[in-house]
Chain A
Amino acid sequence: MEKVRCMKELDIFSTLDYEEKEKIGVLAGRKVYRKNEFIFREGDPADTIYLIKYGKVRLYKVSGEGREITLDILKEDDMFGENTFFEDTLHTMSAQAIEDTFICSCKREHFAILLQNSRVALKIIQLLGKKLNDYTDQVASIAFRDVKGRIAAAFLRLANDYGVSSDEGVVINIDLTHQDIGSLVNASRVMVTKIMGSLRQEGIIAARGHRVVLLNMDKLSEAVEAV
């Protein structure tokens, strides 16, 4: 029954009825990955689709100079390991838990069974479409915006995914060091510290430990569009 609980509460299966959700349970694996534990590494065979029940996962590649290039930070209900949809392929990036993370997994052959349900297939297509748009936005952001604009755009995107309303404003409910933000927006830690100081002085954001509070969304949007 634990397996059923793992899969059936995921958003991707929300349109299924109880009986269908129970059937999905037998197809799923589950595991809690501890902070910094790898789910897979670049070059590993891709034969499993992963869905996050709770926690956070960082996807990254290592550059020729040995630098870790963060490509995405995933959260609850996100799917990854999509190369599995192709046969005999390898993972082209590494996936590492950045906090204790509960992950449901499904082998390729089992996922093919899930795809027989048109509503699940549609959910997956919608999920992939959203991810494609997000990555396209990130490419455009890095190509066309300065560091301040990129940080502002990243905060708006993170607020959309992780934002929680508070009396102060919108709290980005994920621990982010300046190094993490730098990895996301392709800027140095020093530059991120400088820009965040400037955003704080302008009353646009506030820092609460490793969490960022967005105090003025309008001004943040202006910073995105400024370039």
Chain B
Amino acid sequence: MGGHLETGEKQGGKGSQDICLQFIQQKVYRMGSMIDLLYEIKAKTPVGRILVILFHVILQKEISPAGKINLCGVSLPVLAGLAEVTEEELKESIDFLQLKGIIKTE
């Protein structure tokens, strides 16, 4: 057998295997991001506290046809106050959430 799993007709070409691996990596990345958020919320870090507040704000907003939620009008100092974080922690948290692709600031 020599460490090779030959599965005849069930094997795809190299291209389809690469696509499959990329798809799996995408899923693992998303899952990793969600686990990160779960950790931040459970550990009650500044990021986690801000996320919880944002989730509640989001509930009051409408989702655009593109699946985006516009949080314009949400005051950053108010957000920091509600989440009980400093403005510096807020900035770091927003940077983190942007890096994860969860929010985008303009």
Q: Which residue of B lies closest to A183 (CB)?
A: B42
B7 located at the interface, meaning its Cβ lies under 8 Å from any Cβ of chain A in the complex: yes
B32 x A143 contact (CB < 8 A): no
Q: Which residue of A lies closest to B7 (CB)?
A: A117
A85 x B21 contact (CB < 8 A): yes
A85 x B24 contact (CB < 8 A): yes
A208 located at the interface, meaning its Cβ lies under 8 Å from any Cβ of chain B in the complex: no
Count how many pairs of residues, one from A and one from B, have CB atoms less than 8 Å apart in the complex: 106
A83 located at the interface, meaning its Cβ lies under 8 Å from any Cβ of chain B in the complex: yes
Which of A23, A26, A71 meets B6, CB within 8 Å? A23
Which of B17, B32, B51 meets A92, CB within 8 Å? B32
Q: Which residue of B lies closest to A128 (CB)?
A: B27
Interfacial residues of chain A within 67-104, with CB under 8 A of chain B in the complex: 67, 69-71, 82-83, 85-86, 92-93
B52 x A143 contact (CB < 8 A): yes
| A 25-46 binary contact with B (CB < 8 Å = 1; else 0) | 0110000000000000000000
Give chain B's interface secondary structure class.
helix
A128 x B35 contact (CB < 8 A): no
B79 located at the interface, meaning its Cβ lies under 8 Å from any Cβ of chain A in the complex: no
| A 111-149 binary contact with B (CB < 8 Å = 1; else 0) | 011111111010011001101100110111011100000
Give chain A residues whose Cβ lies under 8 Å from the Cβ of B41. Answer: 139, 142-143, 186
A110 x B3 contact (CB < 8 A): yes
Which of B20, B32, B42 meets A121, CB within 8 Å? B20
A24 located at the interface, meaning its Cβ lies under 8 Å from any Cβ of chain B in the complex: yes
B3 x A115 contact (CB < 8 A): no
Which of B10, B24, B36, B56 meets A128, CB within 8 Å? B24
Give chain A residues whose Cβ lies under 8 Å from the Cβ of B20. Answer: 115, 118, 121
Give chain B residues whose Cβ lies under 8 Å from the Cβ of A71. Answer: 35, 38-39, 42
| B 52-90 binary contact with A (CB < 8 Å = 1; else 0) | 100110000000000000000000000000000000000
Q: How large is the interface on B (under 10, 10 to 19, 20 to 34, 35 or more residues)?
A: 20 to 34
- A64→B52 CA distance, assembly (Å): 19
- A135→B28 CA distance, assembly (Å): 12
A61 x B39 contact (CB < 8 A): yes
Given contacts A69-B43, A83-B28, A132-B31, contact A116 B38 (CB under 8 A): no
Q: Which residue of B lies closest to A63 (CB)?
A: B43
A225 located at the interface, meaning its Cβ lies under 8 Å from any Cβ of chain B in the complex: no
Give chain B residues whose Cβ lies under 8 Å from the Cβ of A138. Answer: 38
Give the interface centre of A64, A116, A117, A132 by most chain B CB atoms within 10 Å: A116
B28 x A69 contact (CB < 8 A): no
Q: Which residue of B lies closest to A110 (CB)?
A: B3
Give chain B residues whose Cβ lies under 8 Å from the Cβ of A125. Answer: 23-24, 27
Given contacts A23-B6, A92-B32, contact A135 B38 (CB under 8 A): yes
Give chain B residues whose Cβ lies under 8 Å from the Cβ of A67. Answer: 43
Nearest CB in chain B: distance from A44 CB, A: 16
Given A70-B42, A115-B20, A132-B34, 12 other A-B residues pairs in contact with their CB atoms under 8 A: A20-B7, A71-B35, A71-B42, A92-B32, A114-B5, A116-B5, A116-B7, A116-B12, A128-B28, A129-B27, A139-B37, A186-B41
